[in-house]
Amino acid sequence: MTQVFKFGGASIQDAAAIRRVGELLARFRARPLIVVVSAMGKTTNALETLLAAARAGETEEYRDRLETLRQEHLTTVEALFGDRAGPVTERVEALITELDQLHRRHASRERPFHYDQTVCYGELLSTTIISAWLDEAGMATEWLDARDLVVTDDCHQAANVDWQATVERVRGLATDDDKIRVTQGFIGGTTEGVSTTLGREGSDFSAAILAHCLDAEEVTIWKDVPGLFNADPRRFDNAVQLERISYDEAIELAWHGAKVIHPKTLGPLQQKSIPLTVRSFEDLEAPPSTIGRDTRFDTQTPSLVLLEEQTLLEIRSRDFAFMDEPRQHDILGRLVEAGLHASLIDAGAMRLSLCLDDGHPDRLEPLVSSLCADYAVVRHEDLTLLTVRHADDALLAALSAGRDSLAERRNADTAQRLFPSTQCQGTWHIPL
Ligand code: ADP
Ligand code: ASP
Ligand code: MG
């Protein structure tokens, strides 16, 4: 049965990292194997900046940025292939030329469309280099264009998968030959062949889409951490690894912002009972985490998520009316229309509070203006949202000590508190 491996940006950030991926594949390769790859390092961020420069018509800045992107990829090719770099260099140069030309064609189109046509080049470039490197290292590969495999609608930057059409396109990939099939994460295409993207950090989801459509045996995502922890090990000095966790629990953590897995990843796997393994590409001996049907271990350890760069909107009616269902309906309708997600909704008799991500000012500011026109709105910025699963009162009290909570929400298994970010800096310790 097919295995799907996914490699993120950090695991392929330069020539040395790509070599390590080659070694890893030589050791762990399964048959049939599909390898889903993100853009190298921070290339997607670089492409977003390139797009902004292209749309602002800042030609010199645009040229510099394109040249930097080109040089970074060519340097990797040079370091990997040395004297034999010629054919791969040509393919990279051809992709950069295509990228440059498309800006002229699409500069007057809406930004989400132009975005998708631009940023997909990060993954097209990385997979071109990696596929060639695996061939060089003696593993036969087939490079596949994910825009022909993952069929989506044209909701640019957050495209929705057409599952039936995708199943038909990927069915043939489960061939038990000796080839490693290498394709891009994050990107898809419409039935008309227009490039789309699935949302930032969407490569995990791509791996799950392919696995679901192929009834794969397992998905492995190779990370710079040994597995899924009960809190981000880079923020919490005593985070512990969760070696086994259920789909439902992992979905909750991802939904509340645990950056390690894209939240859409788990649903398609759960539906087919395909286990997801999270393991380290740095320490190949480290025991991984497995996400599957088993729920036995879910409540043993409280899990924590910190979500930064949050803004709180406290919304009241101007005429002292209750914040009843019609008003909630109106406010949440505007939120949906703005394309925003509230990470916390806290309703009282006279007030509705929404906690929103600061990261989309183009959507947030029009929403705030629209609400201010009809309601009394108080805005608090620079906040951090703490979500704790399976917490008791003592743990919550200890985590909140010395911090002022601006909004809260709690149900049977999840508690959330919103604090000023100035009170949340540095490394955290989970009080036990
Ligand atoms: P990728 O290379 O696949 O894009 P990411 O950088 O998105 O990988 O995800 C890995 C990072 O997720 C880790 O470096 C870690 O800091 C962070 N992280 C956040 N929450 C968790 C968690 N609960 N368990 C493990 N890692 C976490
Ligand atoms: N390259 C894309 C991003 O940086 C997708 C991914 O890495 O998962 O968002
Ligand atoms: Mg990521």
Greatest alpha-carbon span in the chain: 75
pLDDT of residue 359: 87
pLDDT of residue 178: 84
pLDDT of residue 273: 98
- Of 5, 12, 38, 209, the one to substitute when testing ligand 2's pocket (max ligand atoms within 8 A of C-beta) is 38
In the block, tokens 């994460």 appear at: 185
pLDDT of residue 180: 95
pLDDT band at residue 113, thresholds of 50, 70 and 90?
A: very high
Between CA 374 and CA 297 the distance in angstroms is 48
Question: Among 14-18, 105-109, 191-195, 223-227, where is mean pLDDT lowest?
Answer: 105-109
C-beta separation of 355 from 307 below 8 A: no
Q: Does the pLDDT at position 326 exceed 90?
A: yes
C-beta separation of 258 from 242 below 8 A: no
Q: Does the pLDDT at position 302 exceed 90?
A: yes
Say which residues have a Cβ less than 8 Å from residue 88's Cβ, sequence separation at least 6.
77, 80, 81, 128, 129, 132
C-beta separation of 202 from 185 below 8 A: yes
DSSP for residue 296: T
Q: Does the pLDDT at position 29 exceed 90?
A: no
Tell me the average pLDDT across 319-343: 95
pLDDT of residue 410: 94
C-beta separation of 343 from 313 below 8 A: no
C-beta separation of 249 from 209 below 8 A: no
Length of the chain: 432
pLDDT of residue 30: 81
Please give the mean pLDDT across all residues of the chain: 95
- Of 186, 197, 210, 219, the one to substitute when testing ligand 2's pocket (max ligand atoms within 8 A of C-beta) is 186
Q: Does the pLDDT at position 93 exceed 90?
A: yes
Quick one: what percent of the chain has pLDDT higher than 70? 100
Q: Does the pLDDT at position 207 exceed 90?
A: yes
Per-residue pLDDT of 115-173, as tens digits, reads 999 999 999 999 999 999 999 999 999 999 999 999 999 999 999 999 999 999 999 88
Q: Does the pLDDT at position 91 exceed 80?
A: yes
Q: Does the pLDDT at position 343 exceed 90?
A: yes
Tell me the average pLDDT across 260-269: 96
Tell me the average pLDDT across 7-20: 97
- Written as one letter, the residue type at 263 is P
- Note if the bond before 32 is cis, omega within 30 degrees: yes
Atom of ligand 2 lying closest to residue 204 CA: 8
Between CA 216 and CA 212 the distance in angstroms is 7
Per-residue pLDDT of 371-394, as tens digits, reads 999 999 999 999 999 999 998 999
201 lines ligand 2 (CB under 6 A): yes
Q: Does the pLDDT at position 429 exceed 90?
A: yes
Going from the Cα of 123 to the center of ligand 2, the distance in angstroms, rounded, reads: 8
42 lines ligand 2 (CB under 6 A): no
Q: Does the pLDDT at position 423 exceed 80?
A: yes
Between CA 370 and CA 367 the distance in angstroms is 5
Cα–Cα nearest to 81, from 142, 22, 140: 22
Domains of the chain: 3-223 (3.40.1160.10), 303-423 (3.30.2130.10)
